[in-house]
Amino acid sequence: MTREVLVKQTHATLSDAEKRRISKRIDALFAEAQWGELDQLLSGSLRGTSDDHWLHVRRADAWYAQGKYARAERLFQQVLQAMPRCPLARWGLANTRMARGNAEDARKLFLSLARQKPEVMGAGACGEGVRWARGLVADAHFRLGQLEEQAGAMAAARRRYQAYLRILQQPAFSLESRKAANTRLRALGLPKQARR
């Protein structure tokens, strides 16, 4: 493995070009599950930009993907102390809490994302565009649907999956799929009153 540092300058934040370059490499390492190399990349990049919360979020994402939920949760919380409105940190913390069985806290975080306007979130300080934000809002509805199913609230779960599909009628970058939402809706069926 080679030590790869994509940030050449020492400053508190990344330029858009640096972020795109690093993001592509991070995504490739995620896809290949190259955790050691990813950790080296993030460590090296953080040496040059230790205040860049986006890199910390990506490190927490990597820990989450490896099942290191306690470490990921702590780092997501630290990011949110510095950047309380960061949607990626809230998304990551919500997923981590969901994975750790803390459904109520996860639900609150997903609700905070689902209630946001994509146009506002996408243009905010941590925003990555409206399509990205719309996808994040849609995915929050999908996760809320999963939580409602786990709680036995099937009608509420159906509404969340339907909201997910409605949002995706406009262009969005979603982590989930329409197929998965439709599969869940079919599995949940129609309420007995509607079957007549």
Separation of alpha carbons 53 and 79, rounded Å: 6
**What tokens were used for 7?**
């940030």
pLDDT in tens, 138-187: 999 999 999 999 999 999 999 999 999 999 999 999 999 999 999 999 99
- Prediction pTM value: 0.86
Torsion of CA 6, 68, 33, 10, to 10 degrees: 0
Domain locations along the chain? 1-102, 116-196
**Is the Cβ–Cβ distance between 145 and 182 less than 8 Å?**
no
pLDDT tens column, 16-41:
788 889 889 999 999 999 999 999 99
Using an 8 Å Cβ cutoff, are 79 and 117 in contact?
A: no
Superfamily of domain 1-102: Tetratricopeptide repeat domain (1.25.40.10)
